[in-house]
Structure 1
């Protein structure tokens, strides 16, 4: 069995109809449309961050993500955490209470959810907004050096319910733009 090559090859930005890409981003009505939207334009997730409409993808410092998670814990907010690979995705919805730094690892160590995020594997972190019929949905997305997504954080929400204002406030208060 051969190891999977996880390197993402991006086509040059000059080969993408960026204006149509931005219009299509703004026309999204559900976060689940994002994957198909990327495929339609032949754009990687991280490339999409660079090409996004103004105000819809902003690079932030990794340390500010730790501050955000600490605030989520202190304020007892429910969040959604998506961690995946090509073959599996783990989704946690609930609290993130027990946070612990251990060497290069930033951890959530709750009885119902554990996350071990290796900080030195994170190459970039983005604050991302995606339009939906319920208003914009805000996520925090971390990528490795090859452009693979490592983790996404959202405020807990369900379809037909607007995003939690407390989540938006924490994001606005704790994420520091690069």
Structure 2
């Protein structure tokens, strides 16, 4: 927390900033969002915060008791909201996951540093949420109770997760800069040869690391070859409308360093609102800052089941905004419709010409 801004100052600023989202208010104050939330620890009135355990092993198996909730995961430019119940939690030393028909996540526990139970009074009643942040104080995942949730389970859950430390200040580390494209031009032929030998999409990150590159660097280096086609950055709205009109099922990933959240299903209601491009469906919402999209690629990776074709978008800093794959509708689905949607997107070279 900045030396000139006390917790009382933060609480006053929050009261005066009606309608401003916590993330935006924290940026305006020059603090992290986690510091803003922590300032209300133990506070009465419209906002009450309890510091809780933050490690996924302690938290995720217990969230099932809340029943149907809304899980939110975001990065700087894309917000992914999914309604469902947290079911099958599988712990791992480096990566954990929640599996289920509605809530599907990939969790990287080393980034989880702070946890809070937040109760906020609104005109529609008290809004209850669990919020988790990384070491820099940036949000990893937020879980909101809904009218259909098991509200009776909330007090017992908070009681068991509550930590001994209920102070209203926290120490955060500086936020790491987004890693831009890492390219090793001398490894281009090895990249292309190894790419052709892939049998699973999960092998790709290991391949990039082995060759001293990252995802975006590899895409740039391989652009124009069989596996990567750069497309017009402003194609996302047309892409989503095509997916919606075709009733094409997709697998859509949005994440940050500590959490990746996945939507399986269709994208039905597409609504642009100012700079935001939105999917507004009953159990899934997506909010994308379309003006932040700087690079978009159609990517093919060979697998044992056939080619895995994706659309992947990056911001100007090189940060991955989202990945979207086609979802097979039955074992016999060859994803021809999905491949057709992707092939219709204009190549960047065509636009430039």
Normalised by the size of structure 1, how large is the TM-score? Answer: 0.90
Distance 1:27 1:9, change over 3 A: same
CA deviations on 1:63-99 (whole Å, 9 max, x unpaired) are 3222121111111111110001101101000010010
CA deviations on 1:121-171 (whole Å, 9 max, x unpaired) are 21111111111112211100001112111101111039x876411111111
Contact 2:183 2:212 in 1 (8 A): no
Q: Hey, what's the Cα distance between the residues in 2 that align with 1:13 and 1:39?
A: 11
- SS state of the match for residue 31, structure 1? coil
* Equivalence for 1:141: 312
1:46 maps to 2:46: no
Q: Which runs of 4+ in 1 moved over 4 A?
A: 9-12, 160-163
1:126 maps to 2:297: yes
Distance 1:157 1:30, change over 3 A: farther
Q: How does 1:57-136 map to 2 (within 5 A)?
A: 57-136=228-307
Q: Hey, what's the Cα distance between the residues in 2 that align with 1:163 and 1:34?
A: 22
49-58 or 17-26: bigger deviation: 49-58
Q: Hey, what's the Cα distance between the residues in 1 that align with 2:189 and 2:177?
A: 29
- SS state of the match for residue 151, structure 1? strand
**Structure with the greater alpha carbon radius of gyration:** 2
Q: Which has the higher contact order (CA 8 A, sep 6+)?
A: 1
- For the aligned residues, what is the CA RMSD? 1.9
99-108 or 60-69: bigger deviation: 60-69
Q: Hey, what's the Cα distance between the residues in 2 that align with 1:13 and 1:36?
A: 15
Q: Runs of 5+ in structure 1 lacking a partner? A: none
Contact 2:251 2:263 in 1 (8 A): yes
- SS state of the match for residue 202, structure 2? helix
1:4 to 163, 175, 195: 175
Equivalenced residues, count: 175
Q: Hey, what's the Cα distance between the residues in 1 that align with 2:221 and 2:237?
A: 26
